[in-house]
C-alpha cells in the first residue's frame, strides 16, 4: 500500500478539479453545467487514477515503526449463545450495559472513518456476532464503503447456516468458524450446549455457497484436543478448508499455563511424521499464519504462532471492542474510548488525532508469553471470542475411541485416526499414530472425563487390574484412640487452632459397576437423563465443597483445587472415579476427597437406576494424602 511516485505534470492537470481527503485520495469537484456523460467520464478518470497512483497511506494509521494498519476488527457484541468453559474466567464476565455499547450508527461511523484512512479489510467479531439482530444490515452498509475490499466474520457457527445466504448477498466475503473438536460429546461438554451438528451444517453451507477457503479456527491445548490434529488435517483432503491451529494464549481469567500450550513446532513435527511431504506456502507480509499444504489435498493448514514465534513486526491489525474502545494490540492492556469522544461530539479531525496518538504509542512487539500471562487484560470474550483456552475448566483430557472414531456432519469421506491405547499419566487414553479411511458418521466413543487435567498434580490413575497396598513416606504415627470423641466418649470436633498451615493434598477413588446395558448407554452418551459422566463429575466437585455440611464433625476447608476424573473400564462394565482435593490449612482433606468420590458414584447410580437396579457401588478408598504432622500416605 506504499505510495507510488506521481509526476508533477499529472498533479498540475488534476489540481484544478480535485480536492483531497485526509488520506490524500483525489475527490472530483463537478463543474457548473457539466453533463452527466462528462461527469461519468470524470468519475471513471478518477477511479483509474486511484488504481494507478494509490495515495500515501494515512499517517494516523501508521505507527512509529512504519506499520500500516489496514485491517480493523470490530466486536459487535459481548454476548454469546454458547457457554464455553475455556472462554471466560471461572467467576464469569460482567457484561457491559447496553447503553454503553456501540450503536449501529456509531459502528458504521467509525468504520467509515477507518476505511477513509486506508483500512481495506474489516472483520466482525464478538462475543458471537451472528446473534446481533442487525448483523446483515451492518454487513450491507459496510459493503457500500468505497475502498473496503473484504468484510469477514468470525463465528461459532451455530447460526451460520441460517444467516449465510443473506450475509453473502449483503457482501460478506470471508468466514472463520471456531471449532476445537470433531467429537460431538466433547463439543457439548466444552461449550455446555448442544450444537455440534449446527456448526457442521454451517461449514457445509459456506462450502456450498462458494466460500473458499472456509477457515476453521482450532485452539490447540494439551490434554484437551492435541490428539485430534491428524483428524483435522484429514478434513482438508477433499474439502476447501483452511484449518488454522492456534497456539493457546493467555488472557485475564483464563489461568494460562505454559504446560498447556502446544507449540507450532511441536504440532508441525506431529504432522510431518504422518505427511513428510508437507510443504510450506508463500505468505503475505502482514499474514499472521504460517500456511502449509499436503500435495493432492484440496485445502490447506495454517499455524497461528502468537506465543512461540510472534508476528508483531508486520502486524497491521487494530481492534474496536463492543463498548467502543480502540485496542492497538490484542495483548496490550491500554485502550482509548472512541465511543466517549464520539458521543461528546468530537469532529472527524479530533477522532483521527486520538486514533493516531493511540496507534503511535503501539509498541514494537508484545511482552512475550510469560510476561503476558502476568499482565492485566480483558477476558477474551470482551475483546473478541475464539478460542483462548483456560487452564482450569472442567476440561476433558481425551474423549476418543479405541475403535475408529466417527463424527457426524461433514459429508466428504475423510480419513480419521485409528487410535491405539497408550498409557498417559497412568490412564488409558487414545493416541493417533496413523490414519485409517473412515466415513464421518455416528459411532461409539470411549470417554474419559477430568474436571481439571492439571499437569502440576500427578496422582496415579487407577488401573482396574492393579493390586492395592498401603505405603508410607516417612513415619506415620497412629493414634491409640478416636480423635472425634472427648475423654468421656462423647462426639466432639477436633481443635486445630494450634496446628500450622501446610499444603494438604488427598486423592480418593470409587468404582461403580454398571452392568453391560447401562455401561453401553453411558459410554455412548445415550441416557435419557443426559450425560452421566459430566453430571457425576460436577456432583463430585460440589460434594467436595460441601463435605463439612454432610459430615458433622468435619472442619470447613477452603479448597484451592478439586479434580474429578472418570474412566470407563469396559472389561468390568464399570466407571472408575478418582477425586483429588487440595487446600492450604491446619487440617487434611481426606474427607473431602472421599466425599467427592462417593457423591460422584451416587450420582452415577441415580443417572442409571432407571436402566438397571443391579448397580454396585464400591471400592471407595483413600489413595494418598500429603501434608500434615503425621506424614504422607500412598496406596499403590
DSSP letters spanning 288-307: -EEEEE-TT-SSEEEEE-TT
Alpha carbon distance 32, 38 (integer Å): 11
478: Cβ contacts below 8 Å, ≥ 6 apart: 630
Specify whether the CB–CB gap between 27 and 47 falls below 8 A. no
241, 321, 575, 607 from 519: Cα distances, Å: 37, 47, 8, 11
Q: Which spans in 119-246 are helix H?
A: 135-143, 160-170, 184-191, 196-208, 229-235
Q: Pairing mode, if any, of strands 71-75 and 121-125? A: parallel
Contact assessment for residue 135 and residue 81, using Cβ atoms and an 8 Å cutoff: no
| 3-class DSSP assignment, residue 93 | coil
The span from the CA of 583 to the CA of 320, in Å, is: 41
| CA–CA distance, 198 with 209 (Å, rounded to integer) | 16
Residue 416, beta-bridge partner list? 436
HSE, CB side, 13 Å, CA atoms: give it for residue 567: 24
Q: How far from chain centre, in Å, is Cα 388?
A: 4
273 Cβ contact partners less than 8 Å away, ≥ 6 residues apart: none
d(CA 331, CA 250): 8
- Half-sphere exposure at residue 315, Cβ-oriented, CA atoms within 13 angstroms: 26
The phi and psi torsions of 260 (rounded to 5 degrees) equal -85, -15
Helix (H) or strand (E) holding 504: strand 502-513
Q: Would you call 78 exposed, middle or buried from its count of C-beta atoms within 10 A (0-12, 13-18, 19+)?
A: buried
Give yes or no for a contact between 74 and 123, defined as CB atoms under 8 angstroms apart: yes
- Report the largest interatomic distance among the alpha carbons of the chain, rounded to a whole angstrom: 113
Cα–Cα distance measured from residue 98 to residue 69, given in angstroms and rounded to the nearest whole number = 29
Q: What's the CA gap between 356 and 324, in Å, rounded?
A: 16
Task: Phi first, then psi: give them for residue 66, nearest 5 degrees.
Answer: 85, 5
Catalytically active residues are: 606
Measured CA to CA, the distance from residue 205 to residue 411 in angstroms comes to 12
Rounded CA Rg of the chain: 29
Distance CA 403, CA 419 (A): 7
Asked whether the CA dihedral 329, 333, 336, 338 is positive or negative, the reply is positive
Rounded distance, CA 176 to CA 143, Å? 18
Cell readout for 453 is 487435567
Amino acid at each position: 500500500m506504499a505510495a507510488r511516485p506521481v509526476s508533477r505534470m499529472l498533479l498540475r492537470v488534476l489540481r484544478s478539479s480535485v480536492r483531497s481527503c485526509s488520506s490524500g485520495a483525489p475527490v472530483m469537484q463537478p463543474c457548473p453545467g457539466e453533463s452527466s456523460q462528462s461527469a461519468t467520464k470524470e468519475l471513471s478518470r478518477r477511479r483509474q487514477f486511484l488504481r494507478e497512483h494509490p495515495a500515501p497511506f494515512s499517517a494516523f494509521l501508521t505507527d512509529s515503526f512504519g506499520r500500516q494498519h489496514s485491517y480493523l476488527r470490530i466486536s459487535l457484541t459481548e454476548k454469546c449463545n454458547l457457554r464455553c468453559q475455556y472462554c471466560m474466567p471461572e467467576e464469569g464476565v460482567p457484561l457491559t450495559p447496553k447503553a454503553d455499547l456501540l450503536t449501529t450508527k456509531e459502528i458504521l461511523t467509525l468504520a467509515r472513518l477507518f476505511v477513509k484512512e486506508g483500512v481495506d479489510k474489516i472483520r466482525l467479531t464478538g462475543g458471537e456476532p451472528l446473534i446481533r439482530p442487525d448483523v446483515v444490515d451492518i454487513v450491507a452498509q459496510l459493503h457500500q464503503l468505497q475502498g473496503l475490499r473484504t468484510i469477514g466474520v468470525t463465528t461459532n457457527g451455530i447460526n451460520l447456516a441460517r444467516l449465510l445466504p443473506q450475509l453473502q448477498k449483503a457482501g460478506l466475503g470471508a468466514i472463520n468458524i471456531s471449532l476445537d473438536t470433531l467429537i460431538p460429546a466433547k463439543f457439548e461438554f466444552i461449550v455446555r450446549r448442544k450444537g455440534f451438528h449446527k456448526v457442521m451444517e454451517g461449514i457445509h453451507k459456506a462450502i456450498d455457497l462458494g466460500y473458499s477457503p472456509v477457515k476453521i479456527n482450532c485452539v490447540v491445548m494439551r490434554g484437551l484436543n492435541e490428539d485430534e490434529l491428524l483428524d483435522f488435517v484429514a478434513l482438508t483432503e477433499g474439502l476447501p478448508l483452511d484449518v488454522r491451529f492456534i497456539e493457546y494464549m493467555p488472557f485475564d481469567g483464563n489461568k494460562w499455563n505454559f504446560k498447556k500450550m502446544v507449540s507450532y513446532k511441536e504440532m508441525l513435527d506431529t504432522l510431518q511424521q504422518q505427511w513428510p511431504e508437507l510443504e510450506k506456502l508463500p505468505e503475505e507480509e502482514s499474514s499472521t499464519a504460517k500456511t502449509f499444504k499436503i500435495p493432492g489435498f484440496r485445502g490447506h493448514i495454517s499455524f497461528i504462532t502468537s506465543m512461540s514465534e510472534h508476528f508483531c513486526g508486520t502486524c497491521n491489525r487494530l481492534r474496536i471492542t463492543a463498548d467502543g474502545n480502540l485496542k492497538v494490540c490484542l495483548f496490550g492492556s491500554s485502550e482509548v474510548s472512541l465511543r466517549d469522544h464520539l458521543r461528546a461530539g468530537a469532529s472527524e479531525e479530533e477522532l483521527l488525532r486520538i486514533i493516531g496518538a493511540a496507534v503511535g504509542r503501539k509498541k514494537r512487539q508484545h511482552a512475550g508469553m510469560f510476561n503476558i500471562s502476568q499482565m492485566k487484560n480483558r477476558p477474551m470474550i470482551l475483546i473478541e471470542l475464539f478460542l483462548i483456552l483456560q487452564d482450569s475448566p472442567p476440561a476433558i483430557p481425551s474423549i476418543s475411541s479405541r475403535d475408529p472414531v466417527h463424527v457426524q456432519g461433514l459429508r466428504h469421506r475423510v480419513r480419521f485416526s485409528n487410535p491405539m491405547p497408550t498409557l498417559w499419566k497412568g490412564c488409558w487414553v487414545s493416541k493417533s499414530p496413523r490414519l485409517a479411511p473412515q466415513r464421518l458418521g455416528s459411532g461409539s466413543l470411549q470417554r474419559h472425563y477430568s474436571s481439571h487435567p492439571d499437569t502440576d498434580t500427578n496422582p496415579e490413575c487407577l488401573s482396574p487390574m492393579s493390586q492395592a497396598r498401603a505405603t508410607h513416606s516417612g513415619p506415620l504415627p497412629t493414634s491409640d484412640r478416636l480423635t472425634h470423641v472427648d475423654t468421656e466418649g462423647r462426639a466432639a470436633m477436633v481443635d486445630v487452632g494450634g496446628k500450622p498451615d501446610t499444603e494438604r493434598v488427598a486423592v480418593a477413588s470409587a468404582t461403580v459397576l454398571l452392568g453391560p446395558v447401562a455401561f453401553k448407554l453411558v459410554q455412548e452418551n445415550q441416557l435419557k437423563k443426559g450425560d452421566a459422566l459430566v453430571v457425576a463429575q460436577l456432583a463430585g466437585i460440589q460434594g467436595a465443597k460441601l463435605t463439612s455440611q454432610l459430615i458433622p464433625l468435619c472442619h470447613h476447608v477452603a479448597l484451592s483445587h478439586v479434580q474429578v476424573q472418570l474412566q470407563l473400564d469396559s472389561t468390568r462394565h464399570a466407571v472408575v472415579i478418582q477425586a483429588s482435593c487440595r487446600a492450604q490449612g491446619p487440617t487434611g482433606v481426606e474427607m473431602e476427597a472421599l466425599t467427592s468420590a462417593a457423591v460422584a458414584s451416587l450420582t452415577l447410580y441415580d443417572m442409571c437406576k432407571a436402566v438397571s437396579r443391579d448397580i454396585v457401588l464400591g471400592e471407595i478408598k483413600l489413595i494418598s494424602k500429603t501434608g500434615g504432622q503425621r506424614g504422607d500416605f500412598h496406596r499403590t
